[in-house]
Amino acid sequence: MKLKLTKVGEPFLFEFSNSNGNSLKIDAASVIGGGGNEFRPMELLAGSLASCMAIDVLHILRKQRISPKQFAVDIQASRTEGVPSPFDSIVLTIQVSSEIDKSQLERNIRLSLEKYCSVAASLSKDIQIETNIQHIS
Amino acid sequence: MKLKLTKVGEPFLFEFSNSNGNSLKIDAASVIGGGGNEFRPMELLAGSLASCMAIDVLHILRKQRISPKQFAVDIQASRTEGVPSPFDSIVLTIQVSSEIDKSQLERNIRLSLEKYCSVAASLSKDIQIETNIQHIS
């Protein structure tokens, strides 16, 4: 995996790109002088976990020949106080259309976080990952 | 921190957004049926680490009244074989204009990864993070 991060603006504005030519802006929090208007590093970290889990879950459902009409993940994360300030808790609320069985989905989520998801396996074991399921119409 | 991930395309295409209204697409690898043309979760994880470190390093340099003319990070990451396949090594090569003293920069990088960077503190201790410095003209 080859990626590039390039400073494109003062004082902390970056462009991040992958080998497919995708790019996105990353900035620091305004409290340390960043613009505060772009994605921040810790947001990308939380998004990487949620998307890894979501892809796994949809992949397992697909093998079970199930395709939810709607699927979204609401992500709430909290950080420890002090410096550094890693995540101590990430709560992933899976919002899925009501035709999907909750207990089957729950099993798939657990399979992802415990067996398949490489982002989860790259994170500190001190981070508590909690999941919920919400049926949406 | 509140974030949202929404499935926007079949089978694994997502839009990820933060509370500032920024959004980016995330997709799975083509090997499991993803489009393979967007950022992938593990790429975002590597980018979150590189940008966290980069912001810290520029922040410390700023306090030292130093502003590099150019600053970029080349990211190479490798993953363990098997399932899951977490990162085992991330190599960050900091490319900086030649007026910046390498040993001072080296100290700042170490300060970031050992003391300040919340992404580094959120990662598994099994991941080996290596850094290099390259002067660019």
Q: Which residue has the tokens 């892809």?
A: A55
Q: How far is B99 from chain A (nearest CA, A)?
A: 16
* Half-sphere exposure for A71 (CA within 13 Å, toward CB): 27
Q: Which amino acid is at A134?
A: Q
With a cut of 50, list the residues of chain B below it in pLDDT: none
- Count of alpha carbons within 13 Å of B114, Cβ hemisphere only? 8
Closest residue by Cα to residue B57 from B2, B18, B95, B4: B95
ipTM of the complex: 0.97
Nearest to A15 by CA among A4, A25, A3, A27: A25
Of the partner residues A47, A58, A62, the one whose CB lies closest to the CB of residue B3: A47
pLDDT reported for residue A2? 93
Kindly tell me the sign of the dihedral angle through the C-alpha atoms of B104, B105, B110, B111. Answer: positive
- B14: which chain A residues are within 8 Å (Cβ-Cβ)? 51, 54-55
Residue of A nearest to B66 (CA): A11
Give chain B positions within 8 Å (CB) of A24: 24, 39
Say which amino acid occupies B86: P
The pLDDT assigned to B137 comes to 76
* Coil/strand/helix, residue A48: helix
**Counts for chain A of helices (H) and strands (E), in that order:** 3, 6
Residue from B20, B37, B118, B127 to probe the interface with A (highest A Cβ count within 10 Å): B118
**B52, A42: Cβ pair inside 8 Å?**
yes
User: Chain A partners of B73 at a C-beta cutoff of 8 Å?
Assistant: 4-6
What does the pLDDT read at residue B11?
96
Give per-residue pLDDT as tens, A100-137: 999 999 999 999 999 999 999 999 999 999 999 999 97
Distance of CA B41 to the CA centre of its chain: 12
- Chain B nearest-CA residue for A71: B7
**Best residue in A122, A125, A134 to probe B by mutation, most B CBs within 10 Å?**
A122
B108 to chain A, minimum CA–CA distance in Å?
Answer: 15
Q: Residues of A with CB below 8 A from B68's CB?
A: 7
Q: What is the pLDDT of residues A11-64, one digit of tens each?
A: 999 999 999 999 999 999 999 999 989 999 999 999 999 999 999 999 999 999
Unique residue bearing structure tokens 């990662």: B123
